Amino acid sequence: MILIYLILILLAGALLAWISGNLNHVLPRVITLVTLIVDLVWLIIYLLQTVAFSNKWLIDVQHHWILQFGIGVHFALDGLSLLMLLLTFFLGIISVLISWKEINSRVGFFHFNLLLILAGIVGVFLSLDLFLFYFFWELMLVPMYFLIGIWGHENRTKAAYKFFLYTQASGLLMFISILALYFVHGNSTGIYTFDYIQLLGTHMSASTGLLIMSGFLAAFLVKLPVVPLHNWLPDAHTEAPTAGSLILAALLLKTGAYGLLRFIVPLFPIASSSFAPIGMILGVIGILYGAKLAFAQTDLKRLIAYTSVSHMGFVILGVFSFNELAYQGVVIQMIAHGISTGALFIMAGQLSERIHTRDINKMGGLWEKAPFMGAIGLIFSMASLGLPGLGNFIAELLILLGAFKSNVLMSVLACIGLIAATLYSLRILQKVFYGVKNTDWKMNDLSIREKTIAVSLVIVIAGLGFYPQPVFNIAKPALLKTLDEHNEKTQLNSENLKVETDLKSKLYFYK
Partner 1 sequence: MKTLIALIPALPMISFLILVLFSGKLSRKVAGWIGAGSIGIAAVLTVIVSVDLISALPEIKSYQITLWQWMSVGNLSADISFRLDSLSLVFCFVITFVGFLIHSYSIGFMDKDEGIIRFFAYMNLFVSSMLILVLADNILLVYLGWEGVGLCSYLLIGFWYKEPENGTAARKAFIITRIGDTAMIIGIFILFLSFGTFNIQDIMHLASAKWVAGSSIATITAVLLLGGALGKSAQVPLQTWLPDAMAGPSPVSALIHAATMVTAGVYLIARTNVLFSLAPIVQGFIAGIGALTLLIAGFSALTQHDLKRILAYSTISQIGYMFLALGVGAYSAAIFHFMIHAFFKALLFLAAGVVILVLNEEHDIFKMGGLRKKMPAVFWTFLIGSASLSALPLVTAGFYSKDAILWFALSSTSGGVVLWIAGIVGAFLTALYSFRMIFIAFFGEAKTQPSFQAGYLMTIPLVVLAVFSLFGGFIELPASLGNFHLFSNLINQSLPVVGIKNVEHLEWLFQLISSLIALSGIYLAYLFYYKKPVFIDSFNHSKIHHFFEIGFGFDKVYDILIVRPVVWLAEIDKKDFIDQINISISNMALIGNEVLSIAQNGKLRWYLLTFAFGIAVILTYMMTK
- Applying CB under 8 A, which residues contact partner 1? 227-228, 230-231, 234, 292-293, 295-297, 323-325, 328, 365, 367-368, 371, 375, 378, 382, 385, 387-389, 393-394, 397-398, 400-401, 404-405, 411-412, 415-416, 418-419, 422-423, 426, 430, 433-436, 466-469, 472, 476
CB of 211 to partner 1, least distance (A): 24
CB of 468 to partner 1, least distance (A): 5
Q: Which of 491, 368, 380, 507 is nearest to 437 (CA)?
A: 368
Count how many Cα atoms sit within 13 Å of the Cα of residue 165 in the half-sphere of its side chain: 11
CB-nearer residue toward partner 1: 201 or 371: 371
DSSP category for residue 73? E
CB-nearer residue toward partner 1: 122 or 432: 432
Which helix (H) or strand (E) element contains residue 113?
A: helix 107-126
CB-nearer residue toward partner 1: 21 or 417: 417
CB of 399 to partner 1, least distance (A): 11
3-state class of 60 per DSSP? strand
CB of 380 to partner 1, least distance (A): 13
CB of 257 to partner 1, least distance (A): 18
Q: 147-184 burial by CB neighbour count: b if 16+ within 10 A, else e? A: bbbbbbeeebeebbbbbbebbeebbebbbebbbebbeb
CB of 144 to partner 1, least distance (A): 19
CB of 236 to partner 1, least distance (A): 12
CB of 102 to partner 1, least distance (A): 26
Strand ranges (E), 26-164: 59-66, 71-77
Q: Taking a C-beta distance cutoff of 8 angstroms, is the pair 219, 173 a contact?
A: yes
Q: How many CB atoms lie within 10 A of CB 311?
A: 29
CB-nearer residue toward partner 1: 430 or 496: 430
Q: Which of 132, 131, 141 is nearest to 165 (CA)?
A: 141
CB-nearer residue toward partner 1: 139 or 257: 257
| Cα–Cα dist 415/413, whole Å | 5
Q: What one-character-per-residue DSSP string does 373-424 give?
A: HHHHHHHHHHHHTT-TTSHHHHHHHHHHHHHHHH-HHHHHHHHHHHHHHHHH
CB-nearer residue toward partner 1: 230 or 311: 230
CB-nearer residue toward partner 1: 69 or 466: 466
CB-nearer residue toward partner 1: 167 or 328: 328
